[in-house]
Structure 1
Amino acid sequence: MGNTALLVIDAQVGIIEGPKYGPVYEKERLLESMKKVIDEAREKEVPIIFILDTDVAEPDSMEYQVHPHIAPLKDDTILTKRATDAFHHTNLHEYLHTLEVNHLVIMGCKTEYCVDTTCRKATTLDYDVTLVADGHSTTDNSVLSAKDIIAHHNCNLHRLENIDYFILVRNSDENIFKHKHLDYK
């Protein structure tokens, strides 16, 4: 499993619970799916990287912290970002390179912003991506419900490719840490 890492994007209290950015759609289901994936990653010794958005709240506030239901452990990595793209002006790419990672399992919040942008960017940086279908969420906007946004992204991102690297959308009950992309190359 040495070539896979788990990215948990913006799973912060202020986004999942609100009040400013949330609560996200089906937050209890989301937290259970995320916990299951994180527990499996720990069991399989897959590196876990939590990405925190510095715009969510002040760093010393509860809203800024990773949701306590999925709180990082001492061996997990925590990186911060300011943009929707977790790679932009961060050392994420360099860190993954030191781990020789070429497959990312991604989940988090919000679907149409940071999750989508990071998934797409990862393929242009030579990573295959598994987006956890039931491991990301968002809120309603003025055009679409959160449920529709999630379904739309699961549909559109599945099989999205950039030359040699692509995204597969898979449910958390599948063997998501298996680098299934290699079956198609």
Structure 2
Amino acid sequence: MTTLEERPNTALLVIDVQNQVVEHAWDRDGVIGRINTLVERARAEDVPVVWVQHSDDQMPRDSDGWQYVPELVRHESEPVVHKRYGDSFEDTDLESLLAERQVGRLVVTGAQTDACIRSTLHGALVRGYDATLVEDAHTTEDLRQWGVPVSPEQVIAHTNTYWSWSDAPGRTGDVTPAAEVDFGPR
């Protein structure tokens, strides 16, 4: 249960599913398909969908690589959070958008598992949110050529395992497959 007072709602976060970010991602099409299904379910259940979009020197704002993948379409009524750091809360308006919608629990999807997904999960938990990682709706690319000693599948499995044990006083982290996500309040 969230430690945020009078924040019973859940929101779906779709983090950095941008052309350049997922170009070489593991199970790219499968992950995007599951995210699309979650977006449709959230909309049908009047659950806020919040889109997060990263930019930096290697992926400048408004470039082709910066754009969200064409398979995912944001509705005009759905907010987009622009960020420059891994944690989607850091130096953004994410917290105020969630507060306006009385959100105390996040369902997290997107890319990359070992960067912005992990950073945002930890950022949410320390700020008082419950955070559900969707087990099969986050991805990363193979970084072994840059010294990461494990495959993308192992990075994803490790993140799923350790996040399922994450908690703090009055709040929890958990992991759920896309087909079993419950957007209801905790």
TM-score over 0.5 for the pair: yes
Question: 2:178 aligned to 161, 164, 172, which one?
Answer: 172
SS of structure 2 residue aligned to 1:147: helix
2:104 maps to a residue whose letter is N
Match of 2:102?
A: 100
**Which runs of no fewer than 5 residues in structure 1 stay unpaired?**
18-22
- Is 1:74 the equivalent of 2:76? yes
Match of 1:3?
A: 9
Preserved CA contact (<8 Å) 1:124 1:165: no
2:15 maps to a residue whose letter is I
Percent identity for Structure 1 against Structure 2: 29
2:167 maps to a residue whose letter is E
Preserved CA contact (<8 Å) 2:108 2:132: yes
Match of 1:160?
A: 166
Q: Please report the TM-score for the alignment, with normalisation by the length of structure 2.
A: 0.89
Alignment partners' CA distance in 2, 1:8 and 1:146: 19
Preserved CA contact (<8 Å) 1:105 1:176: no
> 1:14-55 CA deviation, whole Å, 9 max, x = no partner?
1112xxxxx100111111111111111111111111111112
After TM superposition, the runs of 4+ consecutive aligned structure 1 residues lying more than 3 A away are: none
Question: 2:66 aligned to 55, 64, 67, which one?
Answer: 64
1:124 maps to a residue whose letter is V
Give the RMSD, CA atoms, in angstroms.
Answer: 1.5
Which residues of 2 match residues 6-85 of structure 1 at below 5 A?
Answer: 6-17=12-23, 23-55=24-56, 57-85=59-87
Match of 2:120?
A: 118
Question: 1:128 aligned to 111, 127, 130, which one?
Answer: 130
Aligned length in residues: 175
Q: Please report the TM-score for the alignment, with normalisation by the length of structure 1.
A: 0.90
User: In the TM superposition, what is the alpha-carbon distance from 1:60 to its structure 2 partner?
Assistant: 2.2
Alignment partners' CA distance in 1, 2:181 and 2:15: 20
Match of 1:90?
A: 92
Preserved CA contact (<8 Å) 2:134 2:181: no
Preserved CA contact (<8 Å) 1:130 1:176: no
2:31 maps to a residue whose letter is L
1:169 maps to a residue whose letter is V
Alignment partners' CA distance in 1, 2:53 and 2:143: 22
Match of 1:148?
A: 154
